[in-house]
Structure 1
């Protein structure tokens, strides 16, 4: 994680086990922060979270069990915040979430079970917010999210099942938003998406099946948007995507199968955008991606195979962009990525295999960027990432193995960044992260194994 231009991460130097490390991108500036657990076992730091420049994480020093720790980047400033269960037993904190400078998390104690906690970084300021399921039982808070400065999460009070809750950090202000599925059954909330302060999600009230709901954080304002698949059957709305304040998603009905829908938050404004594949099979839209206010996605109309589509929210404006692999065969686009208004993706053709493509939304402007591995052999472009307006990705040109590449959208500007492995083997880069002017990546070499690498973006 990035904190004030320094990268913090977990690593094992083979001597001290897995501990917290930091790096400024140079060899000399990469060091262990603190050997929290002496010896070779390692403290196994996890859930590293930045709260106002202070690093919080979970770790086990071998004495107190797995608890909340914090660090200012120095060994002396890396300390246990509080031992929630005295001794070696772990409280097992998880779901560390920053809300306006307060760290919320879920943790377990013998007296209260698994409940919601918060900390300001001091032992005295590390307290249980509320014993939602009183006694030793567990309300088991999960899915902690900061939405507009309010903490939302899923929990069970033992009476109402697992439902949506919210908290302002006080016991009185920690309340169930609504018992969507009355009684002890769970409503199965998932896919929570914030659009202009309203939460949209999938839930089951026990009568309408899994359908689209919205909430303004109040019980009265938490309502079923529309029973898309009427009755107790499920439409299973997923891939909730915000395009200029309109919610797009995919849903299933008996008549149309899984297709593209949109909603303005009202029942009448929740409509099928287009029945792309007529009949009950469905076009199975996926990879919903916002590019300059236009929705791009992948779908199969039953004629052209699985290809790239776009939509402006109308049936007439929902169109096949290009049949990349002509006929019923599929190019199966994946990794749709917006870079400065251009859509990049990986697609397959019989003549070139899986390679890098781009689109401006027109058929003529949807083109192969470069056949990185010439001929029918695939370069298997993956891990597309927008790095300060330049596309970075992983590919195999058949010579250097799987390495880091970048592209400006032209064939000549699509180049190997660095052959980290130094031969035809794969460094298999992963976990690319930009901190300041440096790109950090975890990659492997025969000589050193899996290690952290740093690339200077200013000279790439």
Structure 2
């Protein structure tokens, strides 16, 4: 699903299954009328935030058809908005303006989100996709006071089995909590000493990694008080930059700063003894910035680490080759570059990433003659498998994976803006949408295809 503008009807909500694009909902124009936070329930339904003149900004649902796209529940009854999800994320986009980041998180067949009501303030809610089962999770500040956003910054992150979130609680004060989406499975983890959200965050097996104390401490939790522990403390402010969310490994990667090494690649196995510098990729005090990248249409620096085969791939910079893709098996000796997309020390800049069938698809800004152009690429993690997929299409927006290929927002040589589907063969791109403009919030979620088979669908 995605929002875009067309020359005929203006702003609208669309769905695409990798083969065709269909209109779901005509949207009003004007500031604050965007749709965002698309999150699949795993059963073909997608929840998202939308605004109309009757209910304000509320929780909506769709199954990928016009008839199924509707208001799910007016959480804050009447025209007053509940603003499900979050307020503005004030991160600055590379091209200017501000960006939204999704504050809907899925736990099994539930979606967890913050919402505001007149009687209970702003608290966390859950929904399984019906009006009746959309309910408040816990009223941390009974009465009209808000538990969410009143103390620590509004924050929530899920590993699929449980989520952690921050609130101001009437008993515990500013605190970190864990939940499986049920009231009985919601528990206090630790007191917070700062208002900053405990990000960046990552995944290691069935546990969640998060930061504390101005990103100087890396912590791990299994959702219990006893299993919530600090792994390492750095002396410098905002030392921890990003953390991997890779499943199927016995370790997690993260970027951390020290005065002697700069921002470099670290590793943890979830123990204090196993949390250490993996490799000083850009030797000395210079930064290699492992895992950092920019999205084309919104700010993104949330950890570009991807497991392909038995290695984890990520972008990094060194003095010899500039910024390229690297791979590791979790040892210093196996941490090596495998691409040379740039010339000499100039390297490339990376923007979009997605995976499909054990391959990594990405967008990279590379030199073509005297200019630099963002092109689509694919790799299986080796130099010989890394190829540019098009020399005519310019990637101009999000890139997402579907069962039948990877879809991305791209411009043809005439500057026409639409969705394209690509496989692993160079020049195999097919247009799968009409010419549109101002694509927004595209991500892959589950929406049933016309034959009734669930298929991920790009959404913004």
Indicate whether the TM-score tops 0.5: yes
- 5+ long unaligned stretches in structure 1: 2-7, 443-451, 453-460
Mapping 1:373-388, distance limit 5 Å: 373=392, 379=394, 383-388=398-403
Mapping 1:276-287, distance limit 5 Å: 276-286=281-291, 287=304
Match of 1:348 among 361, 366, 370: 366
Point out the more displaced range, 432-441 or 94-103.
432-441
Mapping 1:268-283, distance limit 5 Å: 268-283=273-288
CA shift in 2, pair 1:139/1:261, >3 Å = same
Contact 1:162 1:187 in 2 (8 A): no
Separation (CA, whole Å) in 2 of partners of 1:358 and 1:342: 7
How far apart are residue 18 of structure 1 and its match?
7.9
Match of 2:224 in 1: 218
Separation (CA, whole Å) in 1 of partners of 2:17 and 2:201: 35
CA shift in 2, pair 1:400/1:164, >3 Å = same
How far apart are residue 24 of structure 1 and its match?
9.3
Match of 1:312 in 2: 329
Match of 2:244 in 1: 240
What TM-score, normalized by structure 1, do the two folds share? 0.70
Point out the more displaced range, 319-328 or 194-203.
319-328
Contact 1:246 1:263 in 2 (8 A): yes
Match of 1:263 in 2: 268
How far apart are residue 139 of structure 1 and its match?
1.0
Pair 1:436 & 2:449 matched: yes
Point out the more displaced range, 64-73 or 245-254.
64-73
- 5+ long unaligned stretches in structure 2: 86-102, 292-303
CA shift in 2, pair 1:318/1:117, >3 Å = closer
Paired residue secondary structure (1:415): coil
Contact 1:210 1:237 in 2 (8 A): no
CA shift in 2, pair 1:180/1:266, >3 Å = farther
CA shift in 2, pair 1:160/1:97, >3 Å = same
Match of 1:179 in 2: 191
Separation (CA, whole Å) in 2 of partners of 1:24 and 1:361: 27
Contact 2:5 2:438 in 1 (8 A): no
Match of 2:96 in 1: none
How far apart are residue 343 of structure 1 and its match?
3.8
Contact 1:18 1:41 in 2 (8 A): no
* Number of equivalent positions: 414
Separation (CA, whole Å) in 2 of partners of 1:99 and 1:210: 28
Q: Which one has the largest radius of gyration?
A: 1
Match of 2:204 in 1: 195
How far apart are residue 291 of structure 1 and its match?
1.4
Match of 2:306 in 1: 289
Match of 1:164 in 2: 176
How far apart are residue 69 of structure 1 and its match?
5.8
RMSD after superposition: 4.7
Point out the more displaced range, 382-391 or 294-303.
382-391
